[in-house]
Structure 1
Amino acid sequence: MAGIYIHIPFCKQACFYCDFHFSTNMVIKNEMVDAICKEIEIQKDYLKGEVVESVYFGGGTPSLLDPNQIQKILSTLNEFHTISNTSEITFEANPDDIKPEKLKILYDLGINRLSVGIQSFNEEILKWMNRAHNSAEAFQSLEWIKESDFSNYSLDLIYGIPIASHEIWAEDLRRLVAFEPPHISSYCLTIEPNTVFGRWQQKGKLDEASEDYAAEQFQYLTAYLKKHNYEHYEVSNFAKKGFRSQHNSSYWQQKAYLGLGPSAHSFNGINRQFNINNNAKYLRAIKLGQLPAEMDILNNEDRINEYIMTSLRTIEGCSLDYLSQEHDYDLMKNAKPQIQQWIGLKLCTLQNNYLKLTTKGRLLADKLASDLFVVN
């Protein structure tokens, strides 16, 4: 089973924290959709005939697409791939794009899961981040979703915002959970160099929240959602029973996926491909029937490191047996002192040959994983 990710590189305006690839030039939307459909044909053999169990429209802002453009992409996918009857088809949307009629159209097209970027309900914070929606639109969009046919959806919140107090963070969480969403994703605000916030930071106009401050909000997040019966199944993801994200889980489980559109990544177990993150160059190459992508062939050490990185982020943890059987690698033999130290510091546990991070350890997930990497 495999997944397909489709990157829609358009936004109404630039959020000040975002370093994803996008453009505010909507003139080329039709041309871009045609190119993505052409890429589907060019890449038809990448997944080697595997059945597709998840499709994810991300971006950018997929909710800026017209119904006929969405339909064209879905029809082309079905022409060149076998999409499972039980596949999860997720569509990212901004609150300001959500209207009852739009929800009905998406559902009728076959979209069965939404991912909505709330980020905060606080008006001051939304303006500070330059979000396209306001607080009233955030609340209204969730009311409309609750009244729609969508029973599966995810809501995003950002924590570790330097201008947001712990009280504001607690209130955002309370408001979000009041809607009883099946799935919640929450990410710590990071200041990336090539963003407005990054430039503010370079000029001394913005300081990132301290690690301790962000950690306190993360700990409050995990405790609060646990109390409300959400399973913390991945560092940044929480779900009610039966509502884990199939698509994102495929990344952490090392399943193959095809990425379409400018800046999209693909993985088939053997190599990784990275599409160019330039709309004009992407369009020119696709028109010539060329794939504008770079490829990395993964060796055994790369695959070991990727498994360690992704598995440690999940509730299941890193299987030492899997590393031994699939990659002939003995993690305990190579990192026993490090792992024992972490167990002593209550950063992880070792149960039934699975190395699992504790809530405390999840704060340092990427750092701990990188410390276990095999050096090529």
Structure 2
Amino acid sequence: MAGIYIHIPFCKTRCVYCDFYSTTQSQLKKRYIRALCQELRSRKEYLKGEPVRTVYFGGGTPSQLNEEDFALVFETLEEVYGLGACEETTLEANPDDLTDDYVAMLHDRLPFNRISMGIQTFDDEMLRLLNRRHNASQAIEAVGRCRRAGFGNISIDLIYGLPGETDRRWQDDLQQAVALDVEHISAYHLTYEEGTPLYDMLQAHRVSQVDEDSSLRFFSALTDTLGKAGYVHYEISNFCKPGRHSRHNTSYWQGIPYLGCGPSAHSFDGVGREWNVSSLTQYIEGMESGNRPFETEYRDTATRYNECVMTALRTMWGIPMEQLRQEYGEKLYRYCLDMAAPYLTDGKLELKDGFLRLTRRGIFVSDGIMSDLMYVDD
């Protein structure tokens, strides 16, 4: 099985914290969709005939596309890859784009069966600081609108550790999220990425980062509140109702091949990786001339082992140790167990049923554990 990621780079406005590749050059949308479909056709052999199980439209803001745009992309996907085996088709969307008519179009006339909504917070003042286009009421109404239209699989994104974050404000966000009764919640700690307006605000002392103790409290509140509400903590930043994990994103963590199309999109064929240029104009011009601009990465055994540690250990399933031994050899298998030993002793890792997993205590220091388990050739 395999997945397809479609990058839609267009945004009405840029959020101050975002460092994903996006653009406000909406006048190029029609040329872009044609270029995107050309890439889908030209890369037919990349997935080696594997059935497509998931399709994910990410961005940017994919909900900036209209029905005609989506229809052209889906026609190409069906023609080139076939969607008969597709179980999950996700659209990332901004709440303010999800009008009654737009949601009805997505549900009734297109094959989307999952909505991933970027809410971030229910605090209106903070939404304005982040340069989000919606307010809390619009976000709540958008979830209800999707539900009434018939969507039975809705995910929302939250950000914690925002400037001036307090325990009370974060708990209010969590309680509101739980009240929406969505199937999936992703929650990420705010990072100040160099080159973003928010980073510049930090450097100018207009905002300040939360301290480490606060971050730990916020994460504890996240896991406790969602756990009590019946959500499964299946990946460090992701929670779902039983059986409702994101199948597409889980494929990244489990090493399943995927094709990524559009500027900055990454692809993985099970062995190597490649990624397209992070420029809308260069991408379009390259596709129009039949010369896609991209780079590739050779992954030796140690690199693939390190990726396995970094991705699999993030999930509730953990690292399948026998599979690790078979794929990366006895030396790296023993290395992993040796480096894991101190964490197994102090209860931050557990080895159960052949899987090496983080415990709740281990999740709090997961970056350090993953770093220690990674192999560095002397």
What TM-score range do you get, normalising by the shorter chain?
over 0.9
Q: Which residue of 2 aligns with 1:302?
A: 303
| CA distance 1:22–1:127, shift in 2 (3 Å) | same
Q: Distance in 2 between matches of 1:343 and 1:124?
A: 44
Q: How much does 1:336 deviate?
A: 4.5
Q: Which residue of 2 aligns with 1:87?
A: 87
The Cα RMSD (Å) is 1.4
Q: How much does 1:352 deviate?
A: 2.7
Q: Distance in 1 between matches of 2:137 and 2:163?
A: 23
Code of the residue aligned with 1:147 in structure 2: it is R
Q: Which residue of 1 aligns with 2:168?
A: 167
Bigger shift: 196-205 or 267-276? 196-205
SS across alignment from 2:15: coil
Q: How much does 1:304 deviate?
A: 0.8
Contact 2:57–2:92 (CA under 8 A) maintained in structure 1 = yes
Contact 2:347–2:362 (CA under 8 A) maintained in structure 1 = yes
Q: How much does 1:276 deviate?
A: 0.6
Code of the residue aligned with 1:299 in structure 2: it is D
SS across alignment from 2:3: strand
Q: How is 1:1-376 mapped onto 2 (pairs within 5 angstroms)?
A: 1-107=1-107, 108-331=109-332, 333-336=334-337, 338-376=339-377
Q: Distance in 2 between matches of 1:188 and 1:314?
A: 17
Contact 1:14–1:130 (CA under 8 A) maintained in structure 2 = yes
Q: Distance in 1 between matches of 2:294 and 2:120?
A: 32
Q: Distance in 1 between matches of 2:212 and 2:42?
A: 45
Contact 2:164–2:208 (CA under 8 A) maintained in structure 1 = no
Q: Distance in 1 between matches of 2:11 and 2:173?
A: 24
SS across alignment from 2:106: helix
| CA distance 1:75–1:366, shift in 2 (3 Å) | farther
Contact 2:174–2:222 (CA under 8 A) maintained in structure 1 = yes
Bigger shift: 10-19 or 197-206? 197-206
Normalising to structure 1: TM-score of the pair? Answer: 0.97
SS across alignment from 1:46: helix
Contact 1:125–1:163 (CA under 8 A) maintained in structure 2 = no
Q: Distance in 2 between matches of 1:285 and 1:297?
A: 23
SS across alignment from 1:84: coil
Q: How much does 1:204 deviate?
A: 3.1
Over 3 Å off, 4+ runs: 329-332, 335-338
Bigger shift: 217-226 or 194-203? 194-203
Q: Distance in 2 between matches of 1:200 and 1:292?
A: 34
Contact 2:140–2:180 (CA under 8 A) maintained in structure 1 = no
Q: How much does 1:85 deviate?
A: 3.8
The one-character-per-residue Cα deviations of 1:69-99 (angstroms, maximum 9, x if unpaired) are: 0110111111111323442000000000011
Q: Distance in 2 between matches of 1:147 and 1:164?
A: 33
SS across alignment from 1:222: helix
Q: How much does 1:329 deviate?
A: 3.6
Identity across the alignment (%): 40
The one-character-per-residue Cα deviations of 1:239-279 (angstroms, maximum 9, x if unpaired) are: 11221111001101100000000010000012101111011
The one-character-per-residue Cα deviations of 1:13-64 (angstroms, maximum 9, x if unpaired) are: 1111100000112100111111100111121111011100000000000000
Q: Distance in 2 between matches of 1:308 and 1:208?
A: 29
Unaligned runs of 5+ in 1: none
Q: How much does 1:138 deviate?
A: 1.0
The one-character-per-residue Cα deviations of 1:84-115 (angstroms, maximum 9, x if unpaired) are: 34420000000000112111111121111000
Q: Distance in 2 between matches of 1:328 and 1:86?
A: 34
| CA distance 1:331–1:297, shift in 2 (3 Å) | closer
Unaligned runs of 5+ in 2: none
Q: Distance in 2 between matches of 1:283 and 1:369?
A: 38
SS across alignment from 1:340: helix
Q: How much does 1:371 deviate?
A: 1.7
Q: How much does 1:331 deviate?
A: 4.8
Q: How much does 1:335 deviate?
A: 4.5
Normalising to structure 2: TM-score of the pair? Answer: 0.96
| CA distance 1:71–1:366, shift in 2 (3 Å) | farther
Q: Distance in 1 between matches of 2:266 and 2:224?
A: 34
Q: How much does 1:368 deviate?
A: 1.8
